[in-house]
Amino acid sequence: MADPRPATAGIPTSGRRRSRRWWIALAVLLVVLALGAWLGVRASLAKSALEAAQADAKTLQTAVLDGDASGTDATRQSLSAHTGEAVSLTSDPVWRAAEVLPFLGVNFSAVREAAAATDDVADDVIPSVVEIAGRVNLSSLLPGDGSIATEPLRDVAPRVAEAAAAADAIAGRVDTISTDGALPVVADAVEKLTRTLDGASTMLDTAARATALLPDMAGGAGPRNIMVMIQNNAEVRSSGGIAGAVALIHAENGVISFAGTRGSDDFSKFPTPVLPLTPFEQNVYTDNLGTYIQDTNLTVDFSRTGELAAAMGTRVFGVPIDTVVAIDPYVLAHLLQATGPVALPDGSELTADNAPKTLLSDVYARFPDRLVQDAFFAAVSGSVFETMISRSPDPAALVEALSASAAENRLHLWSAVPAEQTLIAQTTLAGIPPATDDDAVYTGVYLEDLTRAKMDYYLETKVDLRDARCTSQGAEYVVAVTLTSTAPADAATSLPDYVTAGGRFGTPPGDIATRVVIHGPLGAALLGASDGTDLAVKAVTDPNGRLYAQTDVTLTPGASTELVFTVVAPKASDVPPNLVTTPGITGKTTISTFPRCGS
């Protein structure tokens, strides 16, 4: 007779419980492994989709800059499909559940948010960019006949503004994606996306302002007179260098014409300042700020330079000046990359490679007579301008040239029209210190030549922001400025008198005399300054509440010195500081990390 007891009757109860727990554990493990595999596969597929989208974006960028609208629609659709796939792969319930896992969850949420942002770019920004590229391109805007097509710019301006606003909103969201505790590969990917979107947002914002400004600045709503200050970095000033030559450009209905140049002698000292100066300006810059065209850019605020230079230009050229542009030989070099070489009246060529050396050094050896130098600069200005307007430059190279010039702080712009100046003031082209330090601690390091000659061709500069720490007073940090003379040992006799000044203004021939200005954060104070010994420093507060400190230094040929300024600011953000420096001939900057200090 069969045993009526169940098969497990002989197994102890505790054994059965262990068996059930084992099977449950195994089942859970299998589920976890399955879910992990599911997530791993979807993460891999999402990565592939985003990489494909990145390739599509690069193809679109090239086509837009080249003015080639053919095929852009298919590429845009491919981009949108790839970003949509990435969103789908990273937003299912399993993925969202994984976001709450300890330690690992931040990786899933960061990837999902990054994919969503990329998809939003594909849906909300790219279509506008493709549409704009189909309606207008850089080649058609600059046809090479001395004109700028203003109406197409005016027509697309609203669409560009919409794209810029959308890109800015998306970039703002990406900036808030948390990667604290994320795997390096995820954190790096989000950081790369942040940089890319910030760059795209900045570029579109610049395009939006350009399409709003250029039609009227090019005479689309009435005649405009544009004064171009060609700065000479061999005699340094805050925004780059003295105005070695000044050109006048007339714009009317988009037709651009060259109206001539003037040398510094044509802007001889005005008997009184052309505009009233503030007590601060008189104290720091003296009346020279408003009486010499060469000193209008002693100020660290280019909007003030524009006002003063325009007032002088109106008197010298005899027409109202509507716009002031400041460039230097390095801007010309960047532009020559886009246009190609320029033939000069003496039979030589000005190229991207030789422009700085030709205009900042060689000219003084070739033409000892100052009047001949001025004539050469005038001829160069005319030849360069005529070439710029008579050729249709490579669009991508032109964008790169202007972007590089702005990034190097060598290109500045001011408008007498208040609405236009408001748009300019929010860009780096304005050359205006920020109104607040909320986003990042601002520090400006500016130089002023005191030799009153062209010795700054031999001046090397290096600026370090370092040793930042929190104290009871706020954020304390060091601004270290290293100046080095590369002048030959026999500079006093081997260099032209016009380059050394021959000792006429108190600096021994061959030496370099420089004023160093530290323009600090709002409410900041100078705790000390040293070059190994205590420095004599004039420190005041400017009308906006910023520290303004200056000291003078003289270098003999081959000499080098480090000036160390200790500054304390009421607060600091734990983001890289906003360091602005005078664009010179050679120089580099380094910035250490700042802690968050104050409130």
pLDDT given for residue 49 in this prediction? 73
Strands across the sheet containing 474-485: 525-530, 560-569, 474-485, 459-471, 586-591
Average pLDDT of span 309-335 = 96
Reported confidence tier of residue 30, pLDDT bands at 50, 70, 90: very low
pLDDT in tens, 513-534: 999 999 999 999 999 999 999 9
531 touches 563 (CB < 8 A): yes
Phi, psi (degrees; rounded to nearest 5) at 312: -70, -45
Separation of alpha carbons 103 and 180, rounded Å: 10
Highest mean pLDDT among 17-31, 64-78, 528-542: 528-542
Q: Smallest Cα–Cα separation from 329: which of 408, 427, 223, 213?
A: 408
Separation of alpha carbons 296 and 595, rounded Å: 37
Which residue in this structure is represented by tokens 């009227």?
216
201 touches 163 (CB < 8 A): no
Q: How many helices, marked H, and strands, marked E, lie in the chain?
A: 19, 17
How do the domains of the chain map onto residue ranges? Answer: 35-217, 224-423, 434-591
Pair type for strands 512-522 and 546-555: antiparallel
Percentage of the residues of the chain whose pLDDT score is greater than 90: 51
Structural fold of domain 224-423: Aminopeptidase (3.40.630)
- Measured from the Cβ of residue 187, the count of other Cβ atoms closer than 10 Å reads 18
Classify 258 as helix, strand or coil: strand
Q: Check: CATH 3.30.1490 for 434-591?
A: no
- Measured from the Cβ of residue 37, the count of other Cβ atoms closer than 10 Å reads 10
- What is the DSSP secondary-structure string of 188-253? HHHHHHHHHHHHHHHHHHHHHHHHHHHHHHTTBTB-EEEEEEEEETTS--TTSSEEEEEEEEEEET
pLDDT in tens, 144-173: 777 888 888 899 999 999 999 998 998 889
Whole-number average pLDDT of the chain: 87
Q: Smallest Cα–Cα separation from 193: which of 86, 88, 97?
A: 86
Structure-derived torsion over alpha carbons of residues 305, 311, 312, 318, reported in degrees to the nearest 10: 140
Domains 224-423 and 434-591 share a fold: no
Partners of residue 251 on adjacent β-strands? 224, 256
The H-or-E segment that residue 486 falls in is: none
Classify 348 as helix, strand or coil: coil
Question: Which of 33-47, 94-108, 271-285, 299-313 shows the lowest mean pLDDT across its residues?
Answer: 33-47
pLDDT in tens, 216-250: 999 999 999 999 999 999 999 999 999 989 999 99
Q: At what angle do helices 395-407 and 13-66 cross, to 10 degrees?
A: 110
- In the chain, the N- to C-terminal Cα span, in Å, equals 89
443 touches 520 (CB < 8 A): yes
Classify 146 as helix, strand or coil: coil
